[in-house]
Amino acid sequence: MNDNTHSNNTDRFLSFSLGEEEYAMPLLSVREVIDVPEITHVPFTPPHFLGIMNLRGQVISVIDLRHRLGIKPQNAAETAIIICDMAPLCIGVMVDSINSVLSPDPSQVSDKPQIQSTRNTDYITGVYRKDKQLVIFLDIAKCLGAEDLKAAQGAGAKQAA
């Protein structure tokens, strides 16, 4: 067993597709991955807020990450929901497909690129050079933002009451 084994176990990422691009989030923030269930729409919510779902008795808010990031969905049969553990809240994130679990070598991961944008890009935490493709690492909490998390928590609390 080498010294890198411990760091590789903690630096693993779930890779998924949004449109034509590949993204990843820390595996430790993923509770589970499920097929798209029945989702109940909640009125007066942002367009990327799909609604709420029942996951074994727990009400979970569902966000379409593609729509939230302005990415055209693939509408493939592999569309899935990633249940993210964002203590004390769990939230479902819809993606086009789940690809793999990555354990990148730190030498293949670059810092967040300098991006000229009118929007906040703090949700990008790094870029992984996987063969000839780039994988963008995301901080899912920053992707959603405080307003989305508050709306998700509120929608779940109202439905659970």
Write down the pTM of the prediction.
0.82
Interatomic CA distance for residues 104 and 142, integer angstroms:
22
- What tokens were used for 34? 């499920």
CA gap 97, 118 in Å, rounded: 29
Of 23, 8, 21, which Cα lies nearest the Cα of 104? 8
The tens place of each residue's pLDDT in the chain, 161 residues long, gives 444 433 444 589 999 999 989 999 999 999 999 999 999 999 988 888 999 999 999 999 999 999 888 888 877 778 999 999 887 888 999 999 999 999 998 888 888 777 766 567 788 899 999 888 999 999 988 887 666 666 666 655 544 44
For the chain, give every domain's residue range.
Answer: 4-160
Label residue 48 left, alpha or beta by phi (over 0 means left) and psi (-120 to 50 means alpha): alpha
Q: Phi, psi (5° rounding) for residue 120?
A: -70, 130
Torsion angle in degrees (nearest 10) through CA of 12, 16, 18, 23: 20
Nearest to 23 by CA among 118, 95, 104, 111: 95
Per-residue pLDDT, 161: 44
Domain 4-160 has CATH 2.40.50.180: yes
State how far the alpha carbon of 118 is from the alpha carbons of 33, 36, 43, 115, 121, in Å: 33, 33, 29, 9, 9
Beta strands in 87-123 (DSSP E): 89-95, 97-102, 109-110
Q: List the end-to-end C-alpha distance of the chain, in Å, as a whole number.
A: 50
